């Protein structure tokens, strides 16, 4: 049986296990005490939502949605989706589609006028997947700056 819901406070480790399928060369995580502080900050912020699809009590797909307050567009917020991931054994089953559609529906219910998503993938199939979910790459051009001097 599958369900889509918010990740619960006590489920940080399950989410981190799923994130192992997100980036093969990610930076090492900080000590657990720091992780728990970050997670507490995330869980206490009503503008941050982590969606998960659970299948047979296992996290199989997830994304993070950040709602950003705004003073333009009639003071309607906008949102950003990050960390879209599906467990490698559960890919191509429509789980990520369901998670993303759920996140989009939540953003629209919260009056967001747009939702943005960036991907570092050059895989055309992934681009087509995002377009099928409702994202368009022909509306705006995205730019990205990254801090390479991260230090834990």
Ramachandran class of 27: left when φ > 0, alpha when ψ lies in -120 to 50, beta otherwise: beta
pLDDT in tens, 20-39: 999 878 888 999 999 999 99
Q: Is residue 139 part of a domain?
A: no
Question: For the chain, what percent of residues have pLDDT higher than 90?
Answer: 86
pLDDT in tens, 80-92: 999 999 999 999 9
pTM of the entire structure? 0.92
Residue 150 pLDDT more than 90? no
Q: Is residue 152 part of a domain?
A: no
Write down the pLDDT at residue 151: 52
Which range of residues forms the domain containing residue 105?
2-133
CB 103 within 8 A of CB 95: no
Q: Is residue 141 part of a domain?
A: no
User: If you average pLDDT over every residue of the chain, what do you get?
Assistant: 94
Q: Is residue 80 part of a domain?
A: yes
Q: Which residue is listed with tokens 């960390």? A: 83
Instruction: For the chain, list the strands marked E by DSSP.
Output: 2-6, 48-55, 58-68, 78-86, 115-117
Give the integer Cα–Cα distance in Å for 58 and 18. 9
Write down the pLDDT at residue 149: 77
Q: Is residue 70 part of a domain?
A: yes
Write down the pLDDT at residue 152: 36
The CATH number of the domain where 30 resides is what? 3.40.630.30
Q: Is residue 144 part of a domain?
A: no
The number of distinct structural domains making up the chain is: 1
């Amino acid at each position: 049986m599958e369900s889509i819901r918010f990740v619960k406070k006590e489920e940080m480790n399950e989410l981190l296990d799923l994130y192992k399928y997100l980036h093969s060369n990610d930076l090492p995580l900080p000590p657990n005490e720091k992780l728990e502080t970050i997670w507490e900050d995330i869980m206490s912020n009503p503008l941050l939502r982590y969606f998960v699809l659970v299948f047979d009590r296992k996290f199989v797909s997830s994304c993070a949605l950040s709602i950003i307050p705004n003073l333009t567009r009639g003071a309607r917020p906008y949102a950003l989706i990050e960390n879209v991931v599906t467990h490698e054994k559960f890919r191509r089953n429509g789980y990520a589609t369901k998670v993303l559609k759920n996140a989009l529906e939540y953003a629209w219910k919260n009056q967001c006028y747009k939702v943005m998503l960036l991907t570092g993938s050059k895989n055309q199939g992934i681009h087509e997947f995002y377009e099928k979910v409702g994202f368009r790459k022909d509306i705006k051009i995205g730019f990205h700056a990254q801090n390479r001097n991260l230090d834990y």
